[in-house]
Chains A and B, each alone.
Chain A
């Protein structure tokens, strides 16, 4: 697998924003770098990268104030786990006094008076907020093209081409900002693949933890039984550090698990000796590109070389996950998005009566994909269809979950699959595709949300056009540690991804 020549080695660092999160943390601790210098380097890089449209809002004053506080904490010997680490926040997390739009016109100008649990945990641990990151509208999309505030342009380009590519979605701003070194790490969310697919498209690492690991309190809801927050960062270790801070019990979210959070960083170097890794035969889908199959085989060989046993397994209900998802997610979205009624938040468009006001507000405030999903959800929940669609889909989730449980009961510790069926595509390339074709991006990731399991995407190689490709590891419930251990083996074997030089600056 040859890396494209124009790309700079991440380890030969020219500016502090090129550091990994772990290295930056160690430099801050050793006082060879100040939090203010580190934050300023990011703000400078962000100012030169506005053409990528990764940030919807930059918060430089807040960032520098937080950095100064971090420097005084470090000087006083009171450094917290993420002291002085600059992060980007997906604009789906409510931030106190800072505009939160969810990528939608309907929330333009919305300033929450509270802080999401996940971002509050990061600030509690000393992190610095650089700004709010672009996303697909209400996290509904796989390319960041449904954002009401414009596409995000990926820092990656095909060899010999300047055609703009998508960073994936819905956490497209998060993935692009991390890959372009516009933050050391970012928060993201994943309902059907929205952390793992953009991570795979941008040569970054992203983990969706077990449903219930992170509190959903204060995160704009899309599909409540599937949504989970998680980090995107440039290395497996950096993701482990971030997830340790982001997760934890929260009495305000009844689905948030009352489980102690391990220090995930300690599992990173644990290796895979003695573990059994399952290879599900149902993921060998028709028409899978040869380079994806090759990447997958290579990943299995790396894990085997590191001491794992590779075992073919069967997850027979795999093919039903995506259609069942397209009932469950829109149904829950139609219910969650009913709150945008022109009364309590942002946009209001007058009508002839109150129903007319609701209808006009929502017609003007929501984009095409969001409307489509609300309507599908409304249809499948409407009188006479609830059992045939929603209840049936929830039963199929049980069957999907049982498939995984059977594999784990049979001694499998984690499951290896491709992260996506292809590398990133061009902006607008799928504009004329039918909605289902776009949905197929999530074919390997969506099963994990349906079963509530943890999944990590880790870069593993490149396609013939020089674009990054990722592998996915799926774990047992609340066993993210095994995923970090196994993902590190892949990162070590593949060699850390060499990210594109800053052509945009």
Chain B
């Protein structure tokens, strides 16, 4: 499978990464190199094989359904580029 320029732009948009016109060509070539490399996996017979989920069989841990943390809004927003009254500020989404 190989990707064309249109696909590169679509993936970049899905990944929310702006790409310049100059970047599209080389990126496409690199992605195609990697996709060609992984192509060999198609030769492996995986019928009846379960996807791996853990190294040893392990029961998923559960915790009590209780509030165990919180009340630290200042710390939560401390690293945000823009905040107001402990809210994250984002550009206007709804007109």
Interface of A (DSSP majority class): helix
B91 close to A376 (CB less than 8 A):
no
List of B residues within 8 angstroms of A350 by Cβ: 91
B55 close to A451 (CB less than 8 A):
yes
| Contact partner, B14, options A342, A360, A378, A393, Cβ 8 Å | A378
List of B residues within 8 angstroms of A453 by Cβ: 55
Q: Which residue of B lies closest to A359 (CB)?
A: B18
Interface 0/1 of A436-465, CB less than 8 Å to B: 100100000000000111000000000000
Interface of B (DSSP majority class): loop
Give, as a whole number of angstroms, the nearest-CB distance from A500 to chain B: 35
List of B residues within 8 angstroms of A362 by Cβ: 15-18
List of B residues within 8 angstroms of A356 by Cβ: 18
B16 close to A376 (CB less than 8 A):
no
Total interface residues on B, CB under 8 Å, equals 51
| Contact partner, B80, options A343, A391, A392, A393, Cβ 8 Å | A343
A339 to B49, CA, bound (A): 33
Report if A157 contacts B (CB, 8 A): no
List of B residues within 8 angstroms of A401 by Cβ: 52, 55
Report if A51 contacts B (CB, 8 A): no
A109 to B30, CA, bound (A): 31
Report if A297 contacts B (CB, 8 A): no
B81 close to A342 (CB less than 8 A):
yes
A313 to B18, CA, bound (A): 48
Kindly list the 6 A-B residue pairs having the minimum CB-CB distance in the complex, ordered from nearest. A452-B55, A394-B51, A363-B18, A359-B18, A397-B52, A348-B81
Which residue numbers of A lie inside 8 Å of B, CB to CB?
109-113, 210-212, 251, 254-255, 257-258, 317, 319-320, 323-324, 326-327, 334, 338, 341-348, 350-351, 353-360, 362-363, 366, 371-372, 374-379, 382, 389, 391-399, 401, 434-436, 439, 451-453, 477-478
Which residue numbers of B lie inside 8 Å of A, CB to CB?
3, 7-8, 11-19, 27, 30-31, 33-35, 37-42, 44, 46, 49-52, 54-56, 58, 60-61, 63, 72, 75-82, 88, 90-93
